[in-house]
Amino acid sequence: MNSQRRGNLKVGAPTRIYDPLFSTPAMTEVLSAETFVRNMLLFERALSAALEERKVIPNGTAQAIAALSVDDFDLAVLAAAARSAGNLCIPFVKMLTAEVARSNSEAAGYVHWGATSQDVIDTATMLQVRAAITLLEEDMEATCDALASLIRIHQNTVMSGRTWLQQGPPVTLGLKLATLLDALDRHRDRLQHLMQHAIVLQLGGAVGTLAALGRNGPAVAENLGRLLNLPVPAIPWHTQRDRIGEIAATLGILVGTLGKFGRDTSLLMQTEVGEFMEPSAPGRGGSSTMPHKRNPIFSAVILAASTRVPGLVGTLLSAMVQEHERGLGGWHAEWETLIDILRLTGGALAATREIVCGAEIYPAAMQCDMALLGGVTMAEALSFRLAQKVGKGEAHRIAESASRRAVREGINMRDALLQEPAVAQYFAAEDFNAMLNPDNYLGASNEFIERVLANHSARSVEVHHATR
């Protein structure tokens, strides 16, 4: 870094103080102001090259730009100039032109030829989004694969199902995690879809006609797209922001799924539950006043993201209402908001990966918690078993009565059942052992798990083939 060129070094720094907490180093880098300026530079270089290929401008400009790097731009000056210009591109192009002029004054006259600020900013943003999603995809793959292993290991680890935060019939940890894997693999499809459909070139000129390029517009766009490896859309989209909205929303939905996992993890980590814990590490999650604490730091990071991202997605949807051929305010509202969504998604996903890859699992605590109600949570199981003898209504009545007796008298369900007159005639005490065993009341859990794992494997094979 050429720190001389950075002025006071306060502007344009790539990280904010909360970046390490709420995001990842790689994501922070990709979303930094430096990367953004670098992307604008890539655009201008490729634009010049495309124009030169099509003989719209003389050779030389692309080469002159290629000699420059982000360090040739004083981000503090750039930032300050944006106040008068209304965006970063206008002062950037001025600075770029001046830099090119230092080596080739004629070439300087052809910098940014035919393009408008929004072409540069939107395309630079798209390059940033693509790099960010690539990072997300890597974390998604690692998370999903680790999850698949964990599911296989805990396919038969029985724990209490919980509805409305109340214990219900049993599930397995494998099943619980399989619903997550199932959702995450859907999210991978969504991210892949974004990569294929939502990330495109922007090149339209002042009002989306490419008029400044005369008849050459589409051909130049074609070359530019090839050079930047970005698909060229049918028509410029300066004020049609559905792709931006789709990127934001897709990440928003992903963060919602992660938030659910963060919430569950933190609930399972409660002192009174202690069934499934974030990985511990020296110093992590300690409390300044409570030395014994083990705070769910990763869950907090995920939950902070899932609290923040919905409002940010809403903002980008609101911002879609952009006027005529170039919006006023709406476009400006996108810039930092989209960065924040990507940044927080990256952090939440990394935290999820940490949990999944290092989770500490306590089957004994699961057993213990399940025993808390003395089998009352098996009421449904009993109800269905009893129903085969006494009909659904009567079975439900008995299960309910026994449950209440068990809760009221603090006895276990087996004993409570034995006190029900209607039961005694059909069942012996020992019959209840099997009936009250959670392992016997897991329904199709394994079948569901197998389907999810099979889908996951098929997906992996397919991706593997596709990327070979």
Contacts (CB under 8 A) with a second copy, residues 285-344: 285-297, 299-304, 306-315, 317-326, 328-330, 332-333, 335-337, 340
Nearest distance, CB of residue 422 and a second copy, angstroms: 15
Q: Tell me if 210 contacts a second copy by CB under 8 A.
A: yes
Which residues are known to be catalytic? 287, 326
Q: Tell me if 234 contacts a second copy by CB under 8 A.
A: yes
Distance of alpha carbon 28 from alpha carbon 402, whole angstroms: 58
Distance of alpha carbon 377 from alpha carbon 370, whole angstroms: 8
Distance of alpha carbon 117 from alpha carbon 105, whole angstroms: 22
Cα→Cα distances 117→50, 92, 114, Å:
17, 10, 10
Considering only 2-10, 46-54, 136-144, 222-230, which stretch makes contact with a second copy by CB under 8 A? 2-10
Nearest distance, CB of residue 468 and a second copy, angstroms: 26
Angle between helix 33-53 and helix 217-228 axes, rounded to 10 deg: 130
Q: Tell me if 167 contacts a second copy by CB under 8 A.
A: yes
Nearest distance, CB of residue 467 and a second copy, angstroms: 23
**Closest to a second copy by CB, 63 or 167:** 167
Considering only 5-13, 140-148, 223-231, 421-429, which stretch makes contact with a second copy by CB under 8 A? 5-13
Distance of alpha carbon 195 from alpha carbon 189, whole angstroms: 10
- Residue selected from 400, 409, 439, 462 as contacting a second copy according to rule CB under 8 A: 400
Distance of alpha carbon 450 from alpha carbon 368, whole angstroms: 27
Query: Which residues from 9-68 bind a second copy, rule CB under 8 A?
Result: 9-22, 33, 36
**Closest to a second copy by CB, 291 or 421:** 291
- Residue selected from 26, 60, 71, 82 as contacting a second copy according to rule CB under 8 A: 82
Query: Which residues from 124-153 bind a second copy, rule CB under 8 A?
Result: none
Distance of alpha carbon 59 from alpha carbon 359, whole angstroms: 58
Measured from the Cβ of residue 1, the count of other Cβ atoms closer than 10 Å reads 9
**Closest to a second copy by CB, 201 or 468:** 201
Q: Tell me if 362 contacts a second copy by CB under 8 A.
A: no
Which H or E run includes 142? Answer: helix 117-153
Q: Tell me if 4 contacts a second copy by CB under 8 A.
A: no
Measured from the Cβ of residue 434, the count of other Cβ atoms closer than 10 Å reads 12
Q: Which amino acid is at 243?
A: R
- Torsion of the alpha carbons at 375, 377, 380 and 382, rounded to the nearest 10: 0
Nearest distance, CB of residue 376 and a second copy, angstroms: 4
**Closest to a second copy by CB, 130 or 238:** 238
Nearest distance, CB of residue 276 and a second copy, angstroms: 11
Nearest distance, CB of residue 425 and a second copy, angstroms: 19
Distance of alpha carbon 114 from alpha carbon 48, whole angstroms: 10
Which H or E run includes 281? Answer: none
**Closest to a second copy by CB, 400 or 462:** 400
Nearest distance, CB of residue 21 and a second copy, angstroms: 4
What phi and psi values does residue 285 have, to the nearest 5 degrees?
A: 70, 15
**Closest to a second copy by CB, 67 or 329:** 329
Total residues at the site for a second copy (CB under 8 A)? 192
Considering only 43-51, 132-140, 141-149, 244-252, which stretch makes contact with a second copy by CB under 8 A? 244-252
How many CA atoms within 13 Å lie on the side-chain side of 18? Answer: 8
Q: Tell me if 448 contacts a second copy by CB under 8 A.
A: yes
**Closest to a second copy by CB, 161 or 225:** 161
Distance of alpha carbon 219 from alpha carbon 50, whole angstroms: 9
- Residue selected from 90, 121, 144, 147 as contacting a second copy according to rule CB under 8 A: 90
CA distance from start to end of the chain: 36
Distance of alpha carbon 264 from alpha carbon 352, whole angstroms: 12
